[in-house]
Amino acid sequence: MMPLGAVRLRGIELEDLPLLKKWRNELRHFFREYRLITDAHQLKWYNSIQDDKRFIHYAIDVWDGEDWRLIGSCNWSNIDWVNRHAEVGRYIGDPEYRGKGYGLKMTIELHRIVFQDLNMNTVRGEMWAYNTHNIDFLSKFGYKVVGRYRNAMFYQGRFWDSVLVDMTSEEWDVLWNDKYSKYGDDAYA
């Protein structure tokens, strides 16, 4: 039997698109593409990523005791298979599941995949400076703030910097051995 609260990452299916579009539109001020997404945009995006090896997108599911429930999405984008680096993207779209540890479980599994299965050397992230929750989360997770693009985004009447973070495979190995491997296989499907 699956433990309550187990998290799994799986490929995104067509039936996931309406809910992912809803959440993406609600949270658009956190993304680089800030316009409202239509069904046509969503379908075009979905079709474009199917065979593009620079992107790996996952649906995030949580076991609710009876079934798997879609709660968000995560991805590796702009994957450079030669130089072995990728950019992280992740969000919990369902507000009922925020702040309850599912984001941490998903982020651990996402990084286990990228470093241990895909053999990346460095992962990167970029977020708007007003997204302090995400900056704090990734910093506590093990990312290092490595720079800023100044005045990169105009939002709510002012310009905001874009904050750049990264993590190396050596840093991940230490984090995995000292901190994250203890979560064990029962947290994931």
> Does residue 34 have a pLDDT over 60?
yes
pLDDT tens per residue across span 121-163: 999 999 999 999 999 999 999 999 999 999 999 999 999 999 9
At 56, is the secondary structure helix, strand, or coil?
A: strand
Residue 149 · residue 117 · CB < 8 Å:
no
Q: Would the CA dihedral through 102, 181, 189, 135 be positive or negative?
A: positive
Task: Give percent of the chain above pLDDT 90.
Answer: 86
Would you place residue 93 in the very low, low, confident or very high pLDDT band (cuts 50, 70, 90)?
very high
> Does residue 2 have a pLDDT over 60?
yes
pTM (predicted TM-score):
0.92
The yes/no answer on whether domain 7-187 falls in CATH 3.40.47.10 is no
Residues near 33 by Cβ (< 8 Å), separated by ≥ 6? none
pLDDT for the residue 29:
86
Beta strands in 51-109 (DSSP E): 56-63, 68-80, 85-92
pLDDT tens per residue across span 35-58: 899 999 999 999 998 999 999 999
pLDDT for the residue 40:
94
> Does residue 184 have a pLDDT over 80?
no
The span from the CA of 184 to the CA of 142, in Å, is 19
Domains of the chain by residue range? 7-187
For 72, what's the count of Cα atoms within 13 Å in the CB-facing half-sphere? 23
The span from the CA of 76 to the CA of 120, in Å, is 11
